[in-house]
């Protein structure tokens, strides 16, 4: 509590009080006031950063449904024709269909999604492991620039799309997704 902080910080409070009383300059008085109030600041910093929150049953069900829909997209479109890579998008109107391109971000999020679906018990562990295995085997075959993946790839040929470049954001997203998986 605040009293414990005051007891532990008696010297800064004493120095602050002396500065506040005897300093002829405003800067000295300001520093004194800050030192005098330092136990209050320390106690405030020790408070919990956030309150615990429990999701309602309806919120949990909503999340599970959206997660399942996302997984079905990844599962249905990460086909052998696409080298098991998740396409960037699927366009219904106008009916263009699957975009035969992907990015390291898409791949990392797909790997993390497989792990999340397993954790949420929406898919068996074997399915998640198989999905991630296919992704990583494909990643091993993809051309890179000094070990880094390019920003965009053709999912059918695994060749980088032009102009070929490396994105630190996409590389970080891939790393994060693989780390989660």
pLDDT digits (tens, 9 = 90+) for 13-46: 899 999 989 999 999 899 999 999 899 998 888 8
| Strand duo 101-102 + 90-91: pairing | unpaired
Other beta carbons within 10 Å of 116: 18
pLDDT digits (tens, 9 = 90+) for 46-91: 888 877 888 999 999 999 999 999 999 999 999 999 999 999 988 8
Say what the pTM is.
0.69
């Amino acid at each position: 509590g605040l009293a414990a902080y005051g007891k532990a910080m008696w010297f800064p409070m004493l120095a602050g009080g002396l500065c506040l009383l005897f300093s002829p300059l405003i800067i000295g008085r300001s520093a004194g006031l800050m030192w005098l109030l330092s136990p209050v600041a320390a106690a405030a910093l020790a408070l919990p950063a956030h309150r615990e929150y429990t999701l309602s049953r309806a919120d949990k069900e909503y999340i599970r449904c959206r997660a399942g829909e996302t997984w079905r997209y990844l599962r249905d479109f990460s086909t052998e024709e696409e080298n098991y890579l998740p396409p960037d998008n699927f366009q219904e109107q106008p009916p263009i269909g699957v975009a035969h391109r992907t990015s390291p971000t898409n791949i990392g999020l797909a790997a993390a999604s497989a792990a999340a679906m397993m954790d949420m018990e929406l898919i068996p562990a074997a399915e998640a492991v198989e999905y991630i295995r296919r992704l990583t085997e494909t990643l091993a075959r993809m051309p890179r620039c000094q070990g880094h993946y390019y920003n965009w790839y053709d999912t059918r040929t695994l060749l980088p799309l032009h102009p070929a470049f490396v994105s630190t954001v996409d590389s970080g997203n891939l790393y994060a997704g693989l780390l989660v998986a």
